[in-house]
A and B are shown apart, each in its own frame.
Chain A
């Protein structure tokens, strides 16, 4: 134990002799780990956010598909579905999009029926008549209105429709409501000039959750032009959206991983003349090959562990304290209304261990192998280069 501590003491003084080179190596290594860590933390936190909130999403949504595209569904379909055993309720839903050409933002317009329930994350209230609306924080921030102000939208006939803002969703719900404009269903139908016999889709509630998949198949069989989407599938979408193989991971993670591979490859393909000379001297003064390898092991561990700890701490601070400013532009794309959100600091320990394993072990191996090659060579030959 004491022997290993003395070897570590020697390793640290050896590293300090080349402090600028090693510090820059740690900086690059830590930056690579911070990038990978940031992507992992951000995607996992978003996944937790999505799966946490969307567990209350509709159990089954029925869309109509015409010519390969989502089409309006006849409300007659609701009657057919309602007759199936196991169906609790079928509710036609009206929703759609609205593009504002001034700030080039897309809004999502949702129609609700008369709800008396008080929403915790809504400042004010949901629309109680067709002349009222509730808006998301992103819409409020983009156009600057407050509760009581009027929101003027151009309907499908290009005539202006005025809605009084009765509520604004709180910032905590930004990830769900940022671009929403909630209107009464009748008002939205008029706004979109949507026929009473049509709806955007149907929400189906079932008595037994385990029957959802079977009921989806039955609906598809009875109404072949429909497309049933279950809640489990929605949740699965968000799990695949933010997992290891997600586009986010591919876009940033792979680039960082390649940078790390170049770093490790550079280390593996050879050690500097100075390092070779050091190994030669150690061998010449009587150090065993195993002791030289111990020095190199400690050297690799000190650099990789320091970089990993610094990188992971930097990633945590970047994502959960500063809200990932380096990665947000990637998520934002061309979205004008992008939600400002504070992520819950959820970390997947499995991902953290995998990251540690994938970055520390290869670096250690890459440090030891070239050193071993030099250590087994004749010291005189090594020192002469």
Chain B
């Protein structure tokens, strides 16, 4: 049973390590909540920030929540998406409510 014992001790160690790391993560998240997070929220509130400064290559990737749907295609409707980040960020049309309606000729006659 020597191999069994060795295997169980190996798996036991990895499970213990994983649980320890996950617990450490939870503790770090909660301690972050009372220190640095408060500072970040103060900053966001005071400067009116709306987005993370992650993708600064184009204006629609720098502020994905503020961009209009046409920004990725910059200058003409059939332009190809230009920036690599565009493949990571899904389009998110916020605040637009306009719709296309079709009035068929037959309906107009009625």
Q: Report whether A241 and B46 are in contact in the complex, using a CB–CB cutoff of 8 Å.
A: no
Interface size class of B (residues with CB under 8 A): 35 or more
Within 8 A of A (CB), among B16-48: 17-18, 21-22, 24-25, 28-29, 32-33, 36-48
Q: Report whether A8 and B84 are in contact in the complex, using a CB–CB cutoff of 8 Å.
A: no
Q: Report whether A69 and B18 are in contact in the complex, using a CB–CB cutoff of 8 Å.
A: no
Q: Report whether A5 and B1 are in contact in the complex, using a CB–CB cutoff of 8 Å.
A: yes
User: Counting CB contacts under 8 A, is B9 at the interface?
Assistant: no
Given A61-B66, A65-B96, A241-B90, output 9 extra A-B contacts at Cβ < 8 Å: A9-B1, A70-B66, A177-B43, A237-B92, A241-B92, A338-B56, A345-B24, A345-B28, A346-B29
Residues in B lying within 8 Å of A, measured CB to CB: 1, 3-4, 7, 10-11, 14-15, 17-18, 21-22, 24-25, 28-29, 32-33, 36-59, 61-62, 64-71, 83-85, 87-90, 92, 94-97
Q: Report whether B66 and A320 are in contact in the complex, using a CB–CB cutoff of 8 Å.
A: no
Known pairs A229-B94, A251-B87; A53 contacts B21 (CB<8 A): no
Contact of B50 among A9, A46, A58, A241 (CB under 8 A): A58
Known pairs A251-B88, A310-B14, A333-B84; A346 contacts B52 (CB<8 A): no
> How many Å lie between the Cα of A201 and that of B94 in the bound state?
15
Most chain A Cβ neighbours within 10 Å, of B39, B42, B52, B59:
B52
Q: Report whether A176 and B29 are in contact in the complex, using a CB–CB cutoff of 8 Å.
A: no
Q: Report whether B28 and A344 are in contact in the complex, using a CB–CB cutoff of 8 Å.
A: yes
Give the 10 A-B CB pairs with smallest separation, nearest first. A345-B25, A120-B39, A247-B88, A333-B84, A309-B14, A227-B95, A56-B45, A56-B41, A333-B85, A12-B3
User: Counting CB contacts under 8 A, is A330 at the interface?
Assistant: yes
Contacting residues, chain A, for B69 (C-beta < 8 A)? 68
Contacting residues, chain A, for B42 (C-beta < 8 A)? 56, 117, 119-121
Contacting residues, chain B, for A65 (C-beta < 8 A)? 68, 96
Contacting residues, chain B, for A337 (C-beta < 8 A)? 53, 56
Q: Report whether A8 and B7 are in contact in the complex, using a CB–CB cutoff of 8 Å.
A: yes
Known pairs A63-B66, A345-B25; A46 contacts B53 (CB<8 A): no
In the complex, what's the smallest C-beta–C-beta distance from B96 to chain A, in angstroms? Answer: 7
> How many Å lie between the Cα of A316 and that of B42 in the bound state?
30
User: Counting CB contacts under 8 A, is A263 at the interface?
Assistant: no
In the complex, what's the smallest C-beta–C-beta distance from A221 to chain B, in angstroms? Answer: 10
Q: Report whether B83 and A172 are in contact in the complex, using a CB–CB cutoff of 8 Å.
A: no
Q: Report whether A56 and B29 are in contact in the complex, using a CB–CB cutoff of 8 Å.
A: no
Known pairs A237-B94, A335-B57, A346-B25; A93 contacts B48 (CB<8 A): yes
Interface size class of A (residues with CB under 8 A): 35 or more
Contact of B48 among A203, A228, A331, A347 (CB under 8 A): A203
Please name the residue on chain A nearest to B39 by beta carbon.
A120
> How many Å lie between the Cα of A308 and that of B100 in the bound state?
50
Please name the residue on chain A nearest to B15 by beta carbon.
A309
Contacting residues, chain B, for A313 (C-beta < 8 A)? 14, 17-18, 21
Known pairs A57-B44, A70-B66; A331 contacts B53 (CB<8 A): no
Within 8 A of B (CB), among A310-354: 310, 312-313, 316, 320, 330-331, 333-339, 344-347, 349
User: Counting CB contacts under 8 A, is A289 at the interface?
Assistant: no
Contact of B40 among A176, A234, A251, A334 (CB under 8 A): A176
Q: Report whether A305 and B52 are in contact in the complex, using a CB–CB cutoff of 8 Å.
A: no
> How many Å lie between the Cα of A119 and that of B49 in the bound state?
14
Q: Report whether B95 and A229 are in contact in the complex, using a CB–CB cutoff of 8 Å.
A: yes
Contacting residues, chain A, for B94 (C-beta < 8 A)? 227, 229, 233-234, 237
> How many Å lie between the Cα of A46 and that of B24 in the bound state?
18
> How many Å lie between the Cα of A91 and that of B97 in the bound state?
24
User: Counting CB contacts under 8 A, is A238 at the interface?
Assistant: yes
Binds B, one of A104-112, A188-196, A377-385: A104-112
Within 8 A of B (CB), among A115-153: 115, 117, 119-122, 136, 138
